[in-house]
């Protein structure tokens, strides 16, 4: 802990780094202000009752940075952008041109890839905005609206979502850390005072064992995420012998392979994949077409089963951990770069053999990280199902995201401080 405070002290002592940190805080303050600007015509009492009994809406509220609970202009949050990013990442598997753009064309290729993601965000925001406003109308939280007012509200929430996306990218470019993750993080942290107040108001001495279990789960989640995020497998690397003055010898180093290469991204992706279809089916369940309404209700009832939902969540977290690792870490590229720099893995032939070796090691490491991350992700959901307390599920998911984002932010600050020390 003392090392962390020492790094933070060094970070604030550096003028350039201090500006980046204050820029992040300034942008996050703007996102919190935006979350307080509501769309017109809200029935606040009906809205509060909806949120009190809906885990689905509370999970959506995580991605909106708390804007959904106020029906603010940023009620969609960064959800459409995350969904667009997932679709684009999936397309890299099916479209070789996109994969080459993302992995091989450098910074210019990644900028074009990001631009496609932004363009895809617009139609997704239109779809989600319309579906959600109609859903809230069906639940009575919004009154029936004439077409021009409905169109205005949809434009407002789309503009709010795109504004959050832009602010997130500003954080990534001019601040520190992943902007989208930090916006979600700020929304979760902003709800802590209200959650703590509610816990104090509803305190019941008979619930003390449940509170103890919840605290134990929170500590377990924090410990597990820290251990898995920091764990790595060093691959010994030897550089070809080089002449240095009168000496002639090789240099040994290592290639660190993390147990969890993808950090918090699989959890955010998995929740997005689960929540986006739910929003659509919630909307379709009000259809006047009996077949469509019945099919939507069947799927919603299936997802309402906590054990089925937890199983799907677990599978998606594991799958996205493997998928994102495969997209961001290419053994063939690493092998080629090692060969070009005159380096090789000790005991392994350069080229294809090295790529195969790295793939085997990465698959085994990722299996450990993916399974552990999946278990940590569904553990609060299982406890929520056993105890009947929905706050455990929401709080566990939020805690998982918060811990992962904080770890990632600390590492980025540490990297910036180390670079300036050198």
The confidence score (pLDDT) of residue 42 equals 65
pLDDT at 382 over 80: no
Q: Which CATH architecture has domain 1-201?
A: Orthogonal Bundle (1.10)
Q: What is the pLDDT of residues 167-182, one digit of tens each?
A: 988 998 888 888 888 8
The CA dihedral of 413, 415, 324, 235, to the nearest 10 degrees, is -150
DSSP state at residue 202: T
Distances (CA, A) of 392 to 272, 277, 384, 414: 19, 23, 5, 32
Phi then psi for residue 279, to 5 deg, are: -60, -45
The confidence score (pLDDT) of residue 96 equals 79
Same fold, 1-201 and 204-422: yes
- 113-122 mean pLDDT: 88
Q: What percent of the chain has pLDDT over 70?
A: 79
> The sheet that has 232-244: what strands, in order across it?
247-258, 232-244, 343-345
Query: What is the dotted CATH code of the domain comprising 204-422?
Result: 1.10.3370.10
The span from the CA of 105 to the CA of 243, in Å, is 34
Q: What is the pLDDT of residues 271-303, one digit of tens each?
A: 777 777 777 777 777 777 788 888 888 887 887
The confidence score (pLDDT) of residue 50 equals 67
Domain ranges of the chain: 1-201, 204-422
pLDDT at 241 over 70: no
The 10 Å Cβ neighbour count of residue 278 is 19
Q: What percent of the chain has pLDDT over 90?
A: 1
Q: What is the pLDDT of residues 325-376, one digit of tens each?
A: 887 777 888 888 888 877 878 778 888 888 888 888 888 888 888 888 888 7
């Amino acid at each position: 802990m003392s090392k962390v405070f020492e790094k933070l002290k060094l970070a604030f002592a550096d003028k350039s780094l201090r500006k980046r940190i204050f820029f992040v805080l300034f942008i996050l303050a703007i996102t919190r202000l935006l979350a307080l600007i509501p769309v017109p015509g809200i029935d606040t009492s009906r809205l509060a009752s909806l949120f009190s009994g809906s885990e689905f809406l509370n999970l959506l509220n995580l991605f909106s940075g708390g804007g959904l609970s106020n029906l603010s202009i940023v009620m969609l949050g960064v959800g459409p952008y995350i969904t667009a990013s997932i679709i684009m990442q999936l397309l890299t598997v099916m479209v070789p041109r996109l994969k080459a753009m993302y992995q091989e064309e450098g910074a210019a290729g990644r900028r074009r890839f990001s631009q496609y993601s932004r363009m895809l965000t617009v139609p997704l925001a239109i779809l989600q905005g319309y579906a959600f406003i109609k859903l809230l109308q069906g639940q009575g939280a919004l009154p029936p609206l004439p077409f021009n007012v409905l169109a205005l509200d949809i434009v407002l929430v789309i503009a709010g979502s795109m504004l959050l996306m832009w602010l997130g990218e500003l954080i990534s470019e001019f601040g520190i850390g992943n902007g989208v993750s930090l916006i979600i993080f700020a929304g979760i942290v902003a709800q802590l005072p209200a959650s703590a107040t509610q816990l104090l108001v509803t305190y019941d001495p008979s619930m003390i064992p449940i509170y103890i279990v919840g605290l134990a789960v929170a500590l377990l989640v924090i410990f597990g995420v820290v251990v898995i995020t920091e764990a790595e497998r060093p691959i010994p690397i030897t550089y070809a012998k080089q002449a240095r003055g009168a000496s002639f010898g090789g240099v040994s180093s290592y290639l660190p392979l993390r147990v969890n290469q993808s950090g918090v991204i699989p959890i955010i992706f998995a929740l997005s994949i689960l929540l986006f279809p739910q929003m659509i089916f919630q909307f379709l369940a009000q259809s006047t077409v009996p077949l469509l309404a019945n099919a939507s209700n069947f799927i919603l009832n299936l997802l309402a089963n906590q054990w089925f939902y937890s199983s799907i969540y677990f599978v998606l977290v594991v799958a996205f951990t493997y998928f994102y690792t495969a997209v961001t870490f290419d053994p063939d590229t690493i092998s080629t770069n090692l060969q070009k720099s005159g380096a090789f893995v000790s005991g392994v032939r350069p080229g294809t053999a090295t790529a195969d070796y790295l793939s085997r090691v990465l698959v085994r490491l990722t299996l450990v990280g993916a399974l552990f991350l999946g278990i940590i992700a569904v553990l609060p959901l299982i406890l929520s199902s056993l105890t009947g307390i929905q706050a455990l599920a929401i709080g566990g998911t939020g805690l998982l995201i918060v811990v992962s984002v904080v770890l990632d932010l600390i590492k980025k600050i540490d990297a910036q401080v180390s670079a300036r020390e050198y």
